[in-house]
Copies of this chain bind each other. A is one copy, B any other.
Amino acid sequence: PPSPLQPPGLPLAPCRSFSNNKIPVELDESSGVAMMKFKSPPVNSLSLEFLTEFSISLEKLENDRACRGVIITSAVPKIFSSGLDITEMCGKSMEHYSEFWRAVQEMWLRLYGSNMVTVAAVNGSSPAGGCLVALSCDYRIMAENPKFSIGLNEAQLGIVAPFWFKDTFVNVVGQRIAERSLQLGSLHPAPEAHKLGLVDELVPEEKLMEKAAAVMAQWLALPDHARQLTKTMMRKAVLDRLVAHREEDIKNFITFISKESIQKSLRMYMEMLKKKK
């Protein structure tokens, strides 16, 4: 079947693929749009390897003059991304925690600060770090399936979303909704997420990629330079805050995650997940 970015009846556009491990990327050179598909079953969890590949691909596309926009979606049914990989945070060394957290920061700095147009086509559930990926894009379209939910549910697991997750969330839904949602660790079903402004648009699942391509085309109709400067102006304050406190943020994460009480609850959570299977 033709790609949704490929108008029917036209010859195939030149298309380059790379990074075929966990996140296959296809760049359509005629439209300037890259498609990134999270393909790390069972739940696209953000492991160190996944995050590293994500950041490298973003950097490649950022530096590729042929690429002006990225659509981010999932190749795994029912899940966009389950968020940070808990196995990276459990029973590992301080050095590992540090390396992992720096990779989480790096991914966000690249995505939230990207000069490209970034559209999230959320075709499944998207808790915690998965939600952060969607929040960091310019526009969020979600499949209107009420079984899919999205939110920063860290508080449900007894952990606290970092301040820059919070800043990104507040920039999207405002302070009042963020206070409640973050304290309750809410996972909002798609229709509720749309009502709160957490996602910009709902479409039937089978129309999701078509809609994402149409939205992308609308954004790419603008000249890049002015749009990029505008985006930087809008997001700079929040990006700068992490840049200024990056090492401190890593230290805080290590101190927190190394606590025996936290390790214990993460182990229990992992046991529970295993039993579910």
Query: Which positions 212-242 of chain A face chain B at CB distance < 8 Å?
Result: 218-219, 222-223, 225-227, 229-231, 233-235
Residues of B within 8 A of A77 (CB): none
Instruction: Give chain B nearest CB distance to A94 CB in angstroms.
Output: 22
A178-B234 CB under 8 A given contacts A155-B227, A160-B229: yes
Chain B CB within 8 A of A156 CB: yes
Which stretch (A19-27, A41-49, A98-106, A181-189) binds chain B?
Answer: A181-189
Residues of B within 8 A of A64 (CB): none
Query: Which positions 185-224 of chain A face chain B at CB distance < 8 Å?
Result: 185, 197, 200, 218-219, 222-223
Q: 5 interchain pairs (CB within 8 A)?
A: A157-B226, A158-B223, A161-B230, A163-B233, A183-B230
Query: Is the Cβ of B197 less than 8 Å from the Cβ of A176?
Result: yes
Instruction: Give chain B nearest CB distance to A96 CB in angstroms.
Output: 23
A residues near B (Cβ < 8 Å) are: 138-139, 154-161, 163, 166, 170-176, 178-180, 182-185, 197, 200, 218-219, 222-223, 225-227, 229-231, 233-235
Which of B138, B166, B226, B229 has a CB less than 8 Å from the CB of A179?
A: B138
Query: Is the Cβ of A231 less than 8 Å from the Cβ of B179?
Result: yes
Q: How many copies does the complex hold?
A: 3
Interface of A is mostly: helix
A146–B145 CA distance with the chains assembled, in angstroms: 33
A274–B185 CA distance with the chains assembled, in angstroms: 49
Instruction: Give chain B nearest CB distance to A181 CB in angstroms.
Output: 10
Query: Is the Cβ of B171 less than 8 Å from the Cβ of A230?
Result: no
A228–B176 CA distance with the chains assembled, in angstroms: 16
Which of B166, B172, B230, B231 has a CB less than 8 Å from the CB of A233?
A: B166
Query: Is the Cβ of B231 less than 8 Å from the Cβ of A184?
Result: no
Query: Is the Cβ of A175 less than 8 Å from the Cβ of B234?
Result: yes
A226-B173 CB under 8 A given contacts A138-B179, A233-B163, A234-B166: no
A226-B166 CB under 8 A given contacts A176-B173, A179-B231, A234-B182: no
Query: Is the Cβ of B166 less than 8 Å from the Cβ of A175?
Result: no
Query: Is the Cβ of B233 less than 8 Å from the Cβ of A155?
Result: no
Residues of B within 8 A of A158 (CB): 223, 225-226
Residues of B within 8 A of A156 (CB): 222
Residues of B within 8 A of A139 (CB): 180
Residues of B within 8 A of A172 (CB): 175-176
A233–B183 CA distance with the chains assembled, in angstroms: 10
Instruction: Give chain B nearest CB distance to A214 CB in angstroms.
Output: 14
